[in-house]
Structure 1
Amino acid sequence: MTAAIGLTPPAHDPAAPESATTLPVGTPATVRAYVTGLLRRHRAAFAVLVSVNAVAVIASMVGPYLLGSLVDRLAEGARDLHLPVTVGLFTAALLVQTVFVRMVRLRGAMLGEEMLADLREDFLVRSVALPPGVLERAGTGDLLSRITTDIDRLAEAMREAVPQLTVGVVWAGLLIGGLTVTAPPLALAVLVAAPLLVVGCRWYFRRAPAAYRSEAAGYAAVAAALAETVDAGRTVEAHRLGARRVALSDRRIKEWTAWERYTLYLRSVLFPVINVTHTTVLAAVLLIGGVFVLNGWMDVGDLTTGALLAQMLVEPVGIILRWYDELQVAQVSLARLVGVRDIEPERGDESVGPDGREVRAREVRFGYREGVDVLHRVSMEVAPGTRMALVGPSGAGKSTLGRLLAGIYAPRAGRVTLGGAELSRMPAERVREHVALVNQEHHVFVGSLRDNLLLARTGAEDAELWAALGAVDADGWARALDDGLDTGVGSGGLALTPAQAQQIALARLVLADPHTLVLDEATSLLDPRAARHLERSLARVLEGRTVVAIAHRLHTAHDADVIAVVEEGRITELGSHDDLVAAGGAYAALWRSWHG
């Protein structure tokens, strides 16, 4: 850590945590295009906000003009100052300003909320349209962090920064315009201070966004180190890791405080520059105006009005700088949210469709990284109505092969077909009509139990919903609920157990009624006896369907028509349970180890 932390940002520490994203981050061009479209979508609301704000600002300028006129009359020695009229006009202007300032805040808040809602909706719609393979590879963590953490970071910017920045720009522009109309020479005062403000802000904004991001990351690293130490306290004590954990925490705190000092240094430079700018503007107005008044080129009343308008510039300039800084930080979150727009959705060929139900893989190669294959020249056939089990050691490629057969991934080489139609060329929606994937991740959405089931088939009647629940042995606990199908589940509702959530997912599968299924440890969250019972119940429901089951519990393989043993990305054995046990190969060894 550099000792000159007050002057330069902390040196990069290679041991510090790095953030990595698998979904893209929007390019500046993408962000600009989205912001432009968002502003165009809300141009009417922006126009109303600008108009209301203009009225409020003009009303606020009435006071300085009245005072300037009063000073002029006093300088001319007038005895009738028309004070009642002046006070009446000032009071009326103050009332108008109060009403319209309230309207500005209301319109600004409404605009911010509408834009934030649009941003959330746009992100959700685009996320749902992403290719399934992209989401499978990226996982849900990055996607969820964007729609939660990044949305939260943007919330204040959208609710406050955009409307307030608009207000500040209109406010400052009208004040400068008023200053120019009142006494054009006094407008030169703004030009005198402008270079100082521009140079100071340019210096600050080139450093601040990255510094604040690093400061936030440093705090997160401190919190993570402390939480890990507390959670694993017994392990730390057992392995005598206390000193090492304390040293790690000290290092993280030192890194975080270094960034804190650096951002404080940035502010300690910017704020004096802003204060000096304000003082320079006012001093220049008084000096230039004084010279003009002494030479008879300007009235003292115009100087008074100009000085007051110049003083009023302090607040809008502060608003602009404050919220522009906020937008610089929010821009990072916005880039992450709109980054999904850089992913082209898979359109597919609408003319491509299956002519039959046979599933085939021919010389398939696939890998998650360039040049590293997980599957190597895999070929297989699954006849309609066949129950096939994929077994093998962990990491052999079973789940990857299952996702290829379900059309989630497209092979790097070779072909995966359904009824002769290549899955990678079919539209995703058409693939889902024929093939369904049920994996170990099961989701319960906020809403009623009925709503969760209707996701699979929106027009299903209650009798069909109960039949689907009964098919997966879930009707018992479901009928025991106080409100039955109307019971609220998910966050804020009834907390379902992992096993119950799995049963709901399988009930949705029954309702969806696809003819080909890929089950990837679909009963893994149930205890062995319950899983066995559920699989027997499902066997009756799945009668006549093509099923590819990926399982570590070999009783699933025992019940299958065909078993494929996957080892190191290749199918090494293929046959029935009895044939493979008799062959004495890899499957026989697995079966013996399963039964002890």
Structure 2
Amino acid sequence: MYVNFFRYVWQHSRREQIIVLFYVVASLPFYWWSLDVPKRIVNEAIQGSVFSHGQDKALLFHFTLTLPNFLGGYSFDLSDGWMLSQLPYLLALSLLFLVLTLINGWFKYVINIRKGILGERMLRRLRFELFSMVMRFRPEDVRTTKSAEVTSMIKDEVEPIGGFFGEAFITPAFLGTQAITAMAFILVQNMWLGTLALSLIVVQGIVIPHLRREQIRLGRMRQLESRVLAGRIGEMIEAAPALHAYGVTRYSGAEIGQRLGTLFDIRLRLYRRKFAVKYLNNLLAQLTPFIFYTLGGYLALQGRLDIGQLVAVIAAYRDLPTPIKELIDWDQQRNDVTVKYEQVVGAFAKDFLLDNEPEEDPTPVAPDAPITAVGLRVVSGRGLVQIDRMSAAISRPGRIAIVGPAGSGRDILPKVIGRQITDYQGSITLGGHELSSMSDRMASATMLYVSGEPYIMSGTIRDNLVLALRRALPTPEDPKSAFDRYWRDEALKTDNPVVSPDIDWVDYGSLGLSGPHELDAAIIQALRVVDGYDDIFRVGLSSRLGSDLSPDVAERMLNARGAILAHYAELGIADYVESFQPKRFNTNATIGENLLFGVSIGQRFTPENLPYDPFVRSIISAEALSGPLTTIGLKMVETVAEAFQGLAANNPLRERYSFVDDAELNELWPKVESSWQRGQRRQFPAEVRDKLIGYALMYVEPQHRLNLIDDRLVERVLRARRSFRQFLPAQDTGEIEFYDTKKLMPGATIRDNLLFGRIRYGKAHARDRLVAGAAEVLTELGLESFVVSKGLDQEAGPGGRLLSAPQRATVQLARATLRHPDILILDDALSSFGASEAHMIMNNILEAMAGKTVIVTQSNDDDVSAFDQVLTFEGAKLVGTERAAPAAEPADEAVEAADEAAGPAEPMPERANPSQANPTHQEAMK
């Protein structure tokens, strides 16, 4: 990018700038006439100078064009004018002044609108260029860049720069020509007044910018301090869980408070300077009218200046301070903006940037082209040698293990191959292409790097899985409407992409798929490889069914309900589910669920709102349930208050009563004790009673085990259930879906729709067996992909925060497996799993990647018998390469060259026999 702000603006907007400058020049004659007309109104129309010789009429609007003498001096009448009496003469000139005012206003409107559009376009261009530059940072530079600071610069710091893009050339031209025109007009009217006004303006133009230098310095300090503050707040938000764990939130608050104080002090000094300069500027601006009134009035009284000229001079100067002041403000803004622009561009200017992505598809790399390192040396930013003069060749395809202790070259070489480190000495090539200089598109077409820190973006799980497949280059669609055409044209004017992200970018051809209808099956297969299918399937079962079902799916879902229950009977697990029946109390559902016997659609009948709803409270009172429910809620609070004292945070009892919040309990318990002390145990305040009833409505006997539900209470609840459905107002029927064996419930989860009941508590492994049985039936009925699709549509959260660490790792591995690259690099990618699970997933990946190249980091204790080639590191030194293939096997020229450069191989350290290794370590395939 251009470092000079004005050069950048002119390069990208000169056509629009010239058009607006044409409007500026075209407006000057009208501006001059608008200054001259008031003088003619006073002298000719009001004082009647054109009617001084007894004439009752005068000629108005007579225009003559006279050529210069060297062209012959001919005159041409453009208009003969009109003969008007004094009053029509006055009205005509006044109307002319109004028309000129409207014309000048129209010119200002057009110029300002075009300036605004120009500024917004340039701001859009600048932000996109800055974003593009960030995406071209080397991985090393990205890791040292604070995302919050970059976001602050792209979003906030360039905002004032964007507002100045339209001002850069147009404002000084527009205001300057207006000021010069007004100044010339004053000089024409009276040389003394004009000279005096010009002198004061020159003083104003010199003194004010000089005083504003400190203001510029303070503004620069404010910008830098604001950027540091944004970066620090971003860091603390990301580290908030750790700060809470360490108990250092007050220290963090003190640090932010100090930074805010520093910023406050800078801004306070800036405001004082700003308004002091503004006061002086206004004083100088008002000094000239004082002189005009005094000196001009004196000259008028002496007869050396007529009244019309004085009025015209005062009117002209009335317009003069505004452009002069705005020009001074423009100069101040110019200094601020150029400094901000240079700081922003400087922050994004790196010594090395990745090349722009080529438009055409790169030449594919041969599937058997080796990875060859010759004299590879990697040094960290602190000068620590991480890989020392390594030379080796990695044959492809094959299974390669990189072995060594943590912190050795084992952790660095995968990053070099995966292009996460591009600053190195020596050479490492793939098929003759230097890895550091390959384009992203070329490298990603062949290899995929997977680290132990999964990169999960906000969006659905499906979005994250398909992210690596969005590599197609779709052709821009022709605009189908005026709005689409406008959208495309604006993108072209700012060099923004014209292809919408909403169209399908998935490269189905690279996966061997014919279209999007086969994508879900490929995703399911990838999830099975990395042992993530069950998790997604469970998430899908817990997802809301929704009402956007095709008739075919809805019919199969209803059929699945009966088929699943029949299949459970075959498996002998039918009694694991207690179904919903209109005339029976479901002991494994809450009291509230038994009362409603349906699913809440909106917020009105949700569990937290149920005890406060007027209709529900009326039903509870009518069926004499207030007392029993209050008693149940009180017993639950007593139990929790007694049991939670000194109880560990991860104790299962806390999970059982998770709906009783500690903060609520601390607030509620003193009120309960206060009622006891007054001997009013059963007469609680209304808010306490409602809270206790709310707890009671969440009570489940098999789960909470307080033996509080008897036959009498069950009878009352069932009676209340009938009353609730019978007396529910018609306008509220849309708030709840009642259970019906012959209907689906769009507001309920898929699991509730299929099981139509609750899983019984106390059955060992009941949930796993029920899910497995349901999966078998759903697969037979062709509903497996529907359930998985619902699971894939769940949000992952920013950075995958809604997923557990193993789930984030699973999504990343499934994404890589779905992509099926020629080279898959697993850099400690299975560290989130247990040893046995990691071993199983690794075997699945190696099997799925048969015929491809898989590079895996391993510790010294891991079993590497499944790998074709082993590279062993001790510290930064490669101490040996071990191949499973016979030594006499022919090697290609690149392998031979690498072996010669490596010199004599150092002796391999003794390796334990895999059969004698620790069984635990054998399974810990990381």
TM-score, normalised relative to structure 2: 0.51
Q: Is the 8 A contact 2:16 2:118 kept in 1?
A: yes
Does residue 316 (structure 1) correspond to residue 323 (structure 2)? The answer is: yes
Question: Could you tell me which of 886, 902, 912 is aligned with 1:582?
Answer: 912
Q: How does 1:455-470 map to 2 (within 5 A)?
A: 455-457=470-472, 458-460=506-508, 461-462=515-516, 465-470=519-524
**Aligned counterpart, 1:150:** 154
Deviation at 1:248, TM superposition (A): 5.8
Aligned equivalents of 1:326, 1:452: Cα separation in 2: 43
Does residue 385 (structure 1) correspond to residue 385 (structure 2)? The answer is: no
Secondary structure in 2 matching 1:522: coil
Secondary structure in 2 matching 1:90: helix
Aligned equivalents of 1:390, 1:533: Cα separation in 2: 19
**Aligned counterpart, 1:516:** 823
Aligned equivalents of 1:481, 1:99: Cα separation in 2: 62
Q: 1:69 to 1:434 in 2, by over 3 A?
A: same
What letter corresponds to residue 45 of structure 1 in structure 2? E
**Aligned counterpart, 1:442:** 455
Does residue 139 (structure 1) correspond to residue 139 (structure 2)? The answer is: no
Question: Could you tell me which of 204, 215, 236 is aligned with 1:197?
Answer: 204
Secondary structure in 2 matching 1:538: helix
Secondary structure in 2 matching 1:444: coil
Deviation at 1:543, TM superposition (A): 1.4
Question: Could you tell me which of 260, 274, 281 is aligned with 1:267?
Answer: 274
Q: Is the 8 A contact 1:190 1:281 kept in 2?
A: yes
Aligned equivalents of 2:106, 2:93: Cα separation in 1: 20
Aligned equivalents of 1:204, 1:318: Cα separation in 2: 14
Deviation at 1:516, TM superposition (A): 2.2
Does residue 537 (structure 1) correspond to residue 844 (structure 2)? The answer is: yes
What letter corresponds to residue 269 of structure 2 in structure 1? Y
**Aligned counterpart, 1:548:** 855
Q: How does 1:186-585 map to 2 (within 5 A)?
A: 186-218=193-225, 252=259, 255-283=262-290, 299-322=306-329, 324-339=331-346, 340=348, 343=351, 345=353, 356-369=368-381, 371-410=383-422, 412-419=424-431, 421-424=433-436, 429-439=441-451, 440-444=453-457, 449=463, 452-457=467-472, 458-460=506-508, 461-462=515-516, 465-473=519-527, 476-477=536-537, 479-480=785-786, 497=803, 502-503=809-810, 505-510=812-817, 512-524=819-831, 531-550=838-857, 559-572=866-879, 581-582=911-912
Q: Is the 8 A contact 1:365 1:411 kept in 2?
A: no
Q: How does 1:155-166 map to 2 (within 5 A)?
A: 155-159=159-163, 162-163=166-167, 166=170
What letter corresponds to residue 199 of structure 1 in structure 2? I
Q: 1:301 to 1:141 in 2, by over 3 A?
A: same
Q: Is the 8 A contact 1:581 1:588 kept in 2?
A: no
Aligned equivalents of 2:450, 2:799: Cα separation in 1: 24
Deviation at 1:257, TM superposition (A): 4.0
Q: 1:309 to 1:576 in 2, by over 3 A?
A: same
Aligned equivalents of 1:406, 1:548: Cα separation in 2: 10
Deviation at 1:570, TM superposition (A): 2.3
Does residue 42 (structure 1) correspond to residue 13 (structure 2)? The answer is: yes
Does residue 177 (structure 1) correspond to residue 181 (structure 2)? The answer is: yes
Deviation at 1:201, TM superposition (A): 3.5
Q: 1:137 to 1:108 in 2, by over 3 A?
A: closer
Identity of aligned residues (%): 16
Q: 1:165 to 1:411 in 2, by over 3 A?
A: closer
Structure 1, 515-524 or 95-104: larger mean CA deviation = 95-104
Q: 1:101 to 1:421 in 2, by over 3 A?
A: closer
Structure 1, 227-236 or 137-146: larger mean CA deviation = 227-236
Deviation at 1:428, TM superposition (A): 5.3
Question: Could you tell me which of 101, 112, 120 is aligned with 1:113?
Answer: 120
Secondary structure in 1 matching 2:520: helix
Q: Is the 8 A contact 1:487 1:494 kept in 2?
A: no
Aligned-residue RMSD, C-alpha: 4.9
Q: 1:368 to 1:335 in 2, by over 3 A?
A: farther
Q: Is the 8 A contact 1:120 1:147 kept in 2?
A: no
Aligned equivalents of 1:146, 1:560: Cα separation in 2: 42
Q: Is the 8 A contact 1:385 1:546 kept in 2?
A: yes
Secondary structure in 2 matching 1:535: helix
What letter corresponds to residue 912 of structure 2 in structure 1? A
**Aligned counterpart, 2:664:** none
Q: 1:225 to 1:151 in 2, by over 3 A?
A: closer
Secondary structure in 2 matching 1:211: helix
Q: Is the 8 A contact 1:154 1:334 kept in 2?
A: yes
Aligned equivalents of 1:554, 1:321: Cα separation in 2: 73
Secondary structure in 2 matching 1:258: helix
Secondary structure in 2 matching 1:380: strand
Q: Is the 8 A contact 2:365 2:446 kept in 1?
A: no
Aligned equivalents of 1:488, 1:235: Cα separation in 2: 29
Deviation at 1:115, TM superposition (A): 1.1
Higher Rg of the two aligned structures:
2
Q: Is the 8 A contact 1:399 1:550 kept in 2?
A: yes
Aligned equivalents of 2:38, 2:824: Cα separation in 1: 82
TM-score, normalised relative to structure 1: 0.74
What letter corresponds to residue 376 of structure 1 in structure 2? D
Does residue 83 (structure 1) correspond to residue 90 (structure 2)? The answer is: yes
Aligned equivalents of 2:28, 2:797: Cα separation in 1: 46
Deviation at 1:192, TM superposition (A): 0.9
Structure 1, 418-427 or 534-543: larger mean CA deviation = 418-427
Secondary structure in 1 matching 2:15: helix
Structure 1, 54-63 or 413-422: larger mean CA deviation = 54-63
What letter corresponds to residue 198 of structure 2 in structure 1? L
**Aligned counterpart, 1:20:** none
> Residue deviations 1:542-587, cap 9 Å, x none?
1122222235797685754444444432235655999965189xx9
Aligned equivalents of 1:54, 1:544: Cα separation in 2: 72
Q: Is the 8 A contact 1:57 1:174 kept in 2?
A: yes
Aligned equivalents of 2:197, 2:256: Cα separation in 1: 49
Secondary structure in 1 matching 2:821: coil
> Residue deviations 1:418-474, cap 9 Å, x none?
345543465554444333323334243769738635324543132563354234316
Secondary structure in 1 matching 2:376: strand
What letter corresponds to residue 42 of structure 1 in structure 2? S
Aligned equivalents of 1:187, 1:465: Cα separation in 2: 79
| Paired residues, number | 558
**Aligned counterpart, 1:6:** none
Q: 1:205 to 1:519 in 2, by over 3 A?
A: farther
What letter corresponds to residue 397 of structure 2 in structure 1? G
Q: Is the 8 A contact 1:358 1:383 kept in 2?
A: yes
Q: Which has the higher helix share?
A: 1
Aligned equivalents of 1:268, 1:580: Cα separation in 2: 79
> Residue deviations 1:280-302, cap 9 Å, x none?
44345556756775776654423
Does residue 65 (structure 1) correspond to residue 36 (structure 2)? The answer is: yes
Secondary structure in 1 matching 2:455: coil
Q: Is the 8 A contact 2:846 2:854 kept in 1?
A: no
